[in-house]
Amino acid sequence: MRRGPLTARGVAALVAGLLCMTAANVLAAPLLLYLGVLLIVLVLVAAIATHLPHRDGTVTRTIAADLLPVGESSTVLVRLALRSPFPPPVGTWSDALPAAVAGQAGGDFPPADARSGRPAEGIPLTLSYEIEGLRRGLWALGPLTVTTTDPFGLVRRRQEFGDARPITVVPEVVAIPALRDRAGIAGGTAQTSSQRLGQGADNLTPRRYVSGDSMRRIHWRATAHRGDLMVRQEEQESSPDALVVIDRAGARWPGSGAGTTSADPSFERAVSAAASIALHLADHGYAVDVVDATGASIGRLRGAEDERDGLLIALAAVSPRRGEHDEGLPATHGAHALGPLIVLTGALSAADAAVLSHGGAATPVLLATDPAPGALDALAAHGWFSGGLDEDVAGSWADAVPTPRGEGAGGVRR
């Protein structure tokens, strides 16, 4: 609640002055009249002294982590370059925080270590506080508010400095067990093979010379070893692909319907799982695409660090939506059938599960936050590895993904 310009002491002084003036007229006591006028004038002088000096300044904020994951903390440094003809009186400062971020963004103003020996002009003040990410999304910190009072504590001045600074709270990323099946052997080096020619790796093997081969491609070491003229042959190197699908259909996330004021915990788990699984697969050598159930791209990982940050930022902004594609989960991801296919959804009926095809994916995995009775069995019958997605994202993944002996058959987490 925004407080008025008078403090409790100032209100009391003003009321006392008016009462003294009234009592002076009733009791014919000039002393009370002088006292009443003195109190009122004191409040007026305090208001002039507090609000008349011109103050402005610039604010810069530095956050230790560019991207703040949910559940983790970071330090915010606020530098205020204050310009004022007089040293500011003592007061308090506070930085506005969104509901999605927790922290004690306030304290004494000026800070204790800056109350002596400071210049009157261009006062550099550094303020700091800790914040913790509570809910993913794109938010803003600020503006900075400085509240000061006169030496008697009668009048307060509340002034805002600087603009809001954007901050991105990204989904929580948890460590998950490795994908253990024939498509995940050797940590992503024995997966599918693409039609791209390898670049940068030692992917050249010798073959016998045939008429028309360039002499520049002769492999002299292999020639000497085999006794026949050999040339270098470029091989197609392994390029493992994986697809992570997060279902954003509003009908599957009832907690995210119109009129809700907070995030749906089940959808938040799905987004966290999408981020965790995508980064895990990328770390194990997969080229990962993250899409929604309509096929719209959310992000991709090909080994670059900025792609990881870009994916987290994109996932920080996703939300359930309602539209023409909300009728059922599409079974149209066959283009990625040779690699792992990971589907994350909410409410899943047995009827939808019974018709959901993975298009021949080597490792199809589906995690649902609210599977209906019989839905996981129907998925297993179609070759899916499936399970419920609860608060323990890593445990849900570990129970659903294949074990070393689980080749070919789907599995169900009970």
Q: What is the pTM of this model?
A: 0.76
**pLDDT at residue number 263:** 77
Q: Which helix (H) or strand (E) holds 140?
A: strand 137-141
Q: How many CA atoms lie within 13 A of 84 on its CB side?
A: 21
> What six digits make up the tokens of 27?
């009791």
For residue 282, how many other CB atoms are within 10 A of its CB? 21
| Residue 48: partners with Cβ closer than 8 Å, 6 or more residues away | none
**pLDDT at residue number 188:** 43
**Going by DSSP bridges, is the β-strand pair 123-133/73-83 parallel, antiparallel, or unpaired?**
antiparallel
Question: CATH assignment of 241-412?
Answer: 3.40.50.410
Q: Which long-range contacts (CB under 8 A, 24 or more apart) does 288-292 make?
A: 288/241, 288/242, 288/243, 288/244, 289/241, 289/242, 289/243, 289/244, 289/336, 290/244, 290/245, 290/246, 290/314, 290/315, 291/243, 291/244, 291/245, 291/246, 292/245, 292/246, 292/247, 292/248, 292/318
Q: Which sequence spans correspond to the domains of the chain?
A: 8-51, 56-170, 193-238, 241-412
**pLDDT at residue number 409:** 43
Q: How far apart are CA 179 and CA 214, in angstroms?
A: 43
SS3 sequence of 302-329 = CCCHHHHHHHHHHHHHCCCECCCCCCCC
**pLDDT at residue number 199:** 39
CA-to-CA separations, 395 to 57, 131, 219, 246, in angstroms, rounded: 51, 28, 51, 19
Q: How far apart are CA 297 and CA 295, in angstroms?
A: 6
**Among 261, 60, 75, which Cα is nearest to 161's?**
60
Q: With left for phi above 0 and alpha for psi between -120 and 50, is residue 245 left, alpha or beta?
A: beta
| pLDDT < 50: residue spans in the chain | 119-120, 181-203, 235-239, 258-261, 324-325, 331-335, 404-409, 414
- 56-170 belongs to which homologous superfamily? Immunoglobulins (2.60.40.10)
